[in-house]
Amino acid sequence: MARIGLLGVGLMGEAMARRLLARGHQVTAWNLEPERLDLVVPHGAAAAASPAAVVAASEILLCCVLHAAAVENCLFGPGGVATAGRAACAGKRLVDLSTIPPAAARDLATRLRDAVGMGFVDAPVSGGPPAARAGTLTIMAGGDAADVAAALPVLRDLGAQVTRLGETGAGQAAKMVNQAVVGAGFLVMAEALAMAEAAGLDAAAVPAALAGGFADGALLQRIWPLMQARAFDPPLGYARQLQKDLHAVQDYAAGLGLDLPVVGAATGRLDAYVGQGHAMADSVSVIRLYRPDPG
């Protein structure tokens, strides 16, 4: 079993930590808000005072935070990974499970390697906290083949599907594709559910009724029932995170010379929802843009 360092104990980080502990790994965790460590220490994780302290206790590091600026802070901020020094870092790998722009992943990888000789794998995930807890995440990896191979034993404890898609940044590029589908899909599910409810259908029966057809898929089978039941607490993912990802998709597409009007429309609707004060609400609750909660 590996000695694993974890930077970030948000919704996903907590679920990952508990999964890795259950698999018998040693986990040393750090979080910017230290009170979040109380969610994993009782399950066997050790608490660290800084990312640099995590380096000393770990063979491989995982990072799962909100955005590129947060990853940069973990690596190069006060007490960051790089402050541990080359002797502590060289030959180790950092696996970034966050969703950040591909260019940011490439830049951070180069800086980390040049500063302290540590390898960097961008490995964003899809599936949410339940999949992390069950070890059934979908993981899209980019990086040097040897670095990805070294990370695979740990990644396979977290994911049922782990794919190296190319060099550094390729995992994040694949995540942009994933988030284009997911982000627009959340809004499509909300609009379709609003239509079903307004039509007087038994909306709870729709996923089974459409199973096997072209409308079938994880969004219909997993997201629709949560929307229909208004099962938003505790949140499985925050609206602000999906909003951030959709804006990242648009920015990445623009850099490729593409205009994605459907993604743009979905982003606008999510902007409106977050603007109403729902940044920390579950993304699934976007149905409230269209229909009130029953009762």
DSSP helix/strand/coil, 216: coil
Structure tokens at 104: 């940011």
Residue 176 CB contacts under 8 Å (≥ 6 apart), including other chains: 102, 248, 249, 252, 253
The answer, yes or no, to whether the previous bond of 129 is cis (omega within 30 of 0) is no
63, β-bridge pairs:
7, 96
Provide the H-helix boundaries in the chain.
11-22, 51-57, 68-76, 86-89, 102-116, 128-134, 145-158, 170-198, 206-210, 218, 224-229, 239-255, 261-273
User: Is residue 175 annotated as part of the catalytic site, yes or no?
Assistant: yes
Q: Is the dihedral of CA 194, 128, 176, 246 positive or negative?
A: positive
Residues in the chain: 295
d(CA 288, CA 63): 33
Q: Which helix (H) or strand (E) holds 161?
A: strand 159-166
Catalytic residue among 25, 175, 244, 269: 175
Contacting residues for 274 by C-beta, under 8 A, at least 6 apart = 239, 240, 243
Give the residue numbers annotated as catalytic, written as ranges: 175
